[in-house]
Amino acid sequence: MSGETLIFVYGTLKRGGSNHHFLAGQTFLGEGRTGPGFRLFDLGAYPGMVAHADGRQGVPGEVWAVDAACLARLDVLEGVAEGLYRRDRVPLFPPFADRPIETYFYARTVEGRHEIVV
């Protein structure tokens, strides 16, 4: 897996999601869940995950190994340059607990947004 980045996806990028085609040709590694300290919010057409001290259940999702070209496309999709999301490491439960996994965190306020309970 040299040169690949492990990405945790939790919304429209998951299998069956409207943006899953962005992961075409990449490697699905399995389902995962964040540790406590994260919550998911309804942003309309897509969800956004944020670090939140009250997040006790964690957020479910999928782990993918993606190449550099795919990662660059995902950064554009997620609006990283515009400050919509930021890509950073996220702790997951086993079997991914000891691996460096990144995800897209919503980078704007969730004030007034409804939490998605999963």
Higher model confidence: residue 58 or residue 74?
74
pLDDT tens profile 88-110: 999 999 999 999 999 999 999 99
Total-model pTM: 0.93
For CA atoms 73, 22, 102, 82, the dihedral sign is positive
78 in active site = yes
Q: How confident is the model at residue 3 (pLDDT cuts 50, 70, 90)?
A: confident
Pick the CATH number of 5-111 from 3.40.30.10, 3.90.1150.10, 2.40.160.60, 3.10.490.10: 3.10.490.10
Average pLDDT, the chain: 95
Judged by DSSP in three states, 34 sits in strand
Q: Which residue is catalytic, options 4, 31, 62, 78?
A: 78
Q: What is the dihedral of CA 16, 14, 44, 75, to 10 degrees?
A: -130
pLDDT, position 39? 93
Predicted confidence (pLDDT) at residue 1 exceeds the cutoff of 80: no
Predicted confidence (pLDDT) at residue 57 exceeds the cutoff of 90: no
